[in-house]
Amino acid sequence: MTTPFESHSGPGRGLTRELIEIVFPMFEQASAGAIAVDKDSRITWINSRYAKLLGLTDTHGVIGRPVLSVIPHSRMPEVVDSGRPLLLDIMEYHSQQLVVTRLPFFNDEGQISGAVAFVLFDDLQPLTPLVSKYRSLHKDLLAAKRALAKTGRSTRYQLGDFIGASPSVLEVKRRTRLAAGREIPVLLLGETGTGKEVLAQSLHALSARMEGPFVGVNVAAIPENLLEAEFFGVAPGAFTGADKRMREGKFQRAQGGTLFLDEVGDMPLGLQAKLLRALQEREIEPLGSNQIIPIDVRVIAATSRDLTAMVADGSFRSDLYYRLNVLEIQIPPLRERPADIGILCEFLLEDICSGHERTEITDAAVKLLSQHSWPGNVRELRNVLERAFTMSEGAEVLDIATLHRVLPEAVLPIAQGVEPQRADVEHLLPVSPSNDTLPTQGVVRPLAEVLAQAEAEAIRAALAQCQNNRSQAARLLGISRSVFYDKLARLTCLS
């Protein structure tokens, strides 16, 4: 003997035709409208009340039509395909909100025959307590997401925060959108301060993993002896003084989301091999543990270094490079897109002046800024504007005079005729030949040589201005101390 909710082919299959014939008149009479579809989700019946709600004047004209052609957002096909009921749902139709229940029904062989739907309420007023509860829960969810963002496990930036309209910037944004739609590793290449973190977060926010965590780690900022534990976690009691509980690494924290490896070029060779294995096998082994943990993480890497040169000299593994560099996004430095400086100033000043009277910048001042080389890129530009805003003491306009007070001599435009000071740092860097300030007509020097000389001059000028304080010089140039020391060591070796 079967129960009312069993079919003749076995228990638990759903409503039978006999049961539908019994309960349908009661549901149809009590509801604000009813409709039925066949196994192909085509309308087989609709009552006059439902037709009136939908604004249909000819009920016979919709019989046999696909339900989605009449009710575009109907979930009846979903019920027919899955064989599962949707007992309570709010369906929006034009300006109306209808509370609907949808039930599948089966034939004697237990096969899906179609589905019926009843409009329980065509007015949400009786459901005000329920709707209020939903809105309260939704508000709590948004608050939780904001709190999560503050912990660094979510994103703060969108693609619109990468400011610029030059062709090179538009190409960067195009590639970012392209990468967001694919589950592939991405390598962001660009100088310090160009916006690699902004793009990494934007890529995550545009991807299918946007609801998952975004975990960023600056490889250059972590001591080498702690990197493995930071990445892969530590098992309880792995070493003397270790926590008695499992300490999760960055890979575990990024499960289901994105792991952003900033300054990946600073990663030591030993860890490079372990990272490569984790990416290839999609599993990790915490420090001091024999347990293998599967990982589901999308990796975005970034560096300001020349990885191809590092691969050539053996300081970066070629197999890891090709694993990370499935899609490369080259971010242009600010000096290569001077047309964007005006819009960048507007955007940065709006943020800098938050809570104060808005300060504008003159066209002449923007033109002056456009002549700089900006070794620290957008980060350095923000620093200059913040200092100018502070020194202007609430002035409504930033002009050339204000900027001259805050721009260091080392980065003043050549057109201004300012020579960088040279103190007692000449012995640290190679001395440039006296006749190479500008190449003579017809003589073309290798680009690498020109760039190396310009870098040496910038470092020399920064050290001179900071009275040999290397930390201040690194900040002035807009690079990390580790990168500054690395460049200084290489330049010293050449002298």
Nearest to 381 by CA among 201, 231, 191: 191
Between CA 393 and CA 357 the distance in angstroms is 11
- Contact residues for 448 (Cβ-Cβ < 8 A; gap 6+): none
- Report pLDDT for 259: 94
**Higher-pLDDT residue of 451, 14:** 451
CA distance 467 to 473: 9
Decide if pLDDT at 71 tops 60: yes
In this prediction, residue 129 carries a pLDDT of 66
How confident is the prediction for the chain on average, in pLDDT?
A: 79
- In the predicted structure, residue 19 carries a pLDDT above the cut 90: no
Q: For tokens 């435009």, what's the residue?
A: 413
Tens of pLDDT, residue by residue over 21-43, are 676 777 777 778 889 999 999 99
Structural domains in the chain plus CATH codes: 15-123 (3.30.450.20), 159-238+247-332 (3.40.50.300), 421-495 (1.10.10.60)
pLDDT digits 0-9 by tens, 112-125: 889 988 887 766 55
Most confident of 142-151, 409-418, 470-479: 470-479
Range with the lowest mean pLDDT among 10-14, 166-170, 245-249, 439-443?
10-14
Strands 327-330, 186-189: parallel, antiparallel or unpaired by DSSP?
parallel
The phi and psi torsions of 378 (rounded to 5 degrees) equal -65, -35
State the pLDDT at residue 337. Answer: 92
Mean local confidence (pLDDT), 440-455: 68
Supply 417's token pair: 């005729």
Task: Report the amino acid identity of residue 281.
Answer: E
Confidence of residue 436 (pLDDT cuts 50, 70, 90): very low
CA distance 216 to 197: 9
Measured CA angle at 215 (ends 211, 219), to 5 deg: 160
12: left (phi over 0), alpha (psi -120 to 50) or beta: left
Residue 145 has a pLDDT of 61
Query: If you average pLDDT over residues 337-348, what whole number do you get?
Result: 90
- Cβ-contact 356, 362 below 8 angstroms: no
pLDDT tier, 168 (very low <50, low <70, confident <90, very high otherwise)? very high
Q: Token pair of 82, please?
A: 């899955």
Does position 313 have pLDDT exceeding 50, yes or no?
Answer: yes
pLDDT at 457: 85
Summarised one tens digit per residue, pLDDT across range 211-247 is: 899 999 999 888 888 888 888 888 775 555 555 667 8
- pLDDT top residue among 455 and 43: 43
For the cut 60, the answer to whether the pLDDT of residue 397 exceeds it is: yes
Whether the predicted pLDDT of 332 surpasses 60: yes
pLDDT at residue 331, rounded to an integer: 95
Mean pLDDT of 42-51: 88
37 or 155, which is more confident?
37
Provide the H-helix boundaries in 71-166: 76-82, 128-150
